[in-house]
Amino acid sequence: MKNFVIAIDGPAGAGKSTVAKIVAEKLGFLYVDTGAMYRALTLKAMKKNIDFRNKEKLIKMVENTDMKLYQDTKYRVILDGEDVSEEIRKEEVSKNTHYIASILEIREILWKMQRNFRETCKIVMEGRDIGSKVFPDAQLKIYLDASVEERAKRRYLQLKEKGEAADIEEIKKEVIERDKKDKNRKIAPLVKLPDAIYLDTTNLTIEEVVEKIINLYHQKLNSSG
């Protein structure tokens, strides 16, 4: 029997990370943030000044990268021995991840790493292609969504809380732009799968979403006997 996987996909700002972390904690599963992996590789390419149009060089870079995800007091990403957990959240990194995310050879390397987590643990994994590419046989697939307005508002409040300047209309434009890139890329685009459960979180609290997912997990367990 393969370890249980809860695959959570959806657009940026739908609340995947927040919800997935809590669900994993409550169930005692490992939480895996695959976006962090794409971000870490993007950061490395930026630091090394690699031209994002140079696919060959990017692939070589990834082949020569050591990346670890682990959890102590917080979730950490260690890139070639350095903790980059904070740095990968920067706006410049978000803007450039689509280059890395659209290269098949790089995705294949990451898919392999991502699939390895299931060998030893039950997992909650979030991203864009978890149900479609990483674990098409995941026991529970969730597509987490929210309206563009709501996702922009959440991002706006996050920035405000950090004391950073934020313009809601500007953020909305960025959200729309990121959706386009995630949904329209040729390789592993974000899709709503027929076997995924669609959850619109626009009018739900984090606790309500967590509860729904945990109930779905128990239903799946009971139905598979």
Q: Which residues bind ligand DC (CB under 6 A)?
A: 12, 34-35, 38-39, 97-98, 101, 127-129, 182
Closest CB to ligand DC among residues 129, 150:
129
Nearer to ligand DC, 35 or 78 (CB): 35
What is the smallest separation between the CB atom of 154 and ligand DC, expressed in angstroms? 13
Compute the least distance from the CB of residue 70 to ligand DC, in Å: 17
Minimum distance from CB of 125 to ligand DC (Å)? Answer: 8
Q: Which amino acid is at 187?
A: I
The residue (of 206 and 221) whose beta carbon lies closer to ligand DC is 206
Provide CB contacts within 8 A for 9, sequence distance 6+. Answer: 16, 126, 127, 128, 129, 130, 131, 132, 141, 142, 143, 144, 190, 193, 196
Which residue's CB is nearer to ligand DC, number 129 or number 174? 129
Q: How far is the CB of 128 from ligand DC (least distance, A)?
A: 4
| Cα–Cα distance measured from residue 94 to residue 213, given in angstroms and rounded to the nearest whole number | 27
Do β-strands 82-83 and 75-79 pair in parallel, antiparallel, or remain unpaired? antiparallel
Residue with tokens 């991002």: 155
d(C-alpha 49, C-alpha 67), whole Å: 19
Give the per-residue SS3 of 52-105.
Answer: CCCHHHHHHHHHCCCEEEEECCCEEEEECCEECCCHHHCHHHHHHHHHHHCCHH
To the nearest whole angstrom, how small is the minimum distance from the Cβ of residue 127 to ligand DC?
2
Q: Tell me whether residue 70 or residue 221 sits nearer to ligand DC (CB atom).
A: 70
